[in-house]
Structure 1
């Protein structure tokens, strides 16, 4: 952001000059693109938008109005294509780049966007309580699978029908890893858990970001395990394996290890925040988000 010229104390400053100086500050903030999660839409992000524009006046905030509510359960690659069009339309006017702030399932959609779009100009990618390494366990949305328990959902999710439901495309059952890999699901492909012809290009595209910010916490109540928001996940004994010990990190299948080596991975942990409150909690915004939106 451009620095405001120094004003000497006691010297008269005209209203016009003040406006010009304010304009310099306003023009310095990059646009922020927000992608929502399951059952969400633009209305859920009015408070977050207010936080951004209050602290960074003049910032353009775009909450993409697409696949809202129940439509968020549609297949993820289909959603990626829709979000891609909106994203590209916004980025045409963001000559100095933009920031991508993505909540919950939106974090996976944004990861896919950053992988499949070449030469994008995204500076900070902020994943706000997203199941980046997958989901396994009870959530507040258990009504989606009324006939199933956590141990049995794999039978639905790892079927032809289940793979047409967004949440099933990142269901990562540690006890049925073979079924997860066999389905070649959205998450398996995105994480490079299965080899595919686009891996090299996707990795190159993802590495164009300048900063990856991972936000989550132990009282989330939806993302399970909550460490998935930091690329940690269960092993077959349901013990947490941290990001740096994940196979996808060690093999650097999508660029996470390089980002970390560059010093461009930031993690932020907050206790006492429930899943639906991450985007309306001012402390989370102030301590985990604000400084990356410049």
Structure 2
């Protein structure tokens, strides 16, 4: 189809109309990937290839910080250092970036979005992350804590325990008061514990244009797996889905407002183990690809 005469005569007008319609004319937005616990950049070579294959020319950055065992460092410390690298990338991308974060990395990214004013993240893709917390006997947990899930709170909910990243999102539904009092990361991020910056953090989080939540019942690590969609256990270990969570109903950090805008997408995939989310091409094509434009 030929370009109408008026646009051939006035390319500036054509560019303006494309910008107003939301059509990108200068390639794809950069993608920043934040890895999970015990991971590093090498685990995301396949995902990076998927992105550049379907969106040629995309700048993909896998942040190379707190790899492998270093990922056990306290999350607020990690957030601070990830933030420095994050800023160096986004300041070169005036049209915005996409943030794709796996497992524990999803919580780091949530915190980044909350504490960073004037950020330009367009889409936040959370790939199998314990967004509402973790409570379960997984292979990862057994390698660190040689005890049952019912006893982990004794390790996590104290000053020493809070120096381990896993403890920063350990959410024991049977010890709710101790979780709220002693966990210095997730209750603050969720707005479950009031703090002076809660309003500003909510405004910062709501700067994103789209939130994509990905997870599934065969994950095997995120427990309950519904935590990847902001669901979690009640005191009887029954699942309370996202819209019935108090942080959603009270809209403490902007999740309800984001969904009211129509900007929350949920993708459920069965048959995917935790370590395979970022290398599963079907997950990429059905849950991720279309949001990275």
The reply to whether TM is greater than 0.5 is: yes
Q: Deviations over 1:196-249 (max 9, x none)?
A: 001000000000000000000000000000000000000000000000000000
Is the 1:30–1:59 Cα contact (8 Å) retained in structure 2? yes
1:11 is aligned to none
Point out where structure 2 has 5 or more consecutive residues left out of the alignment.
4-22
- Match of 1:44, SS? helix
1:271 is aligned to 270
- Match of 2:150, SS? coil
- Match of 1:286, SS? helix
Separation of aligned partners in 2, 1:150 and 1:184 = 16
- Match of 2:149, SS? coil
Superposition pairs of residues 48-197 of structure 1, within 5 angstroms = 48-197=47-196
2:246 is aligned to 247
Compute the displacement of 1:28 (Å).
2.0
Is the 1:222–1:275 Cα contact (8 Å) retained in structure 2? yes
Change (3 A) 1:80 1:118: same
1:219 is aligned to 218
Compute the displacement of 1:55 (Å).
0.2
Compute the displacement of 1:142 (Å).
2.6
Is the 1:184–1:194 Cα contact (8 Å) retained in structure 2? no
Runs of 4+ in 1 over 4 A off after TM superposition: none
Separation of aligned partners in 2, 1:94 and 1:138 = 41
Separation of aligned partners in 2, 1:230 and 1:104 = 12
2:9 is aligned to none
Separation of aligned partners in 2, 1:287 and 1:229 = 17
TM-score by length of 2: 0.91
RMSD of aligned alpha carbons: 1.4
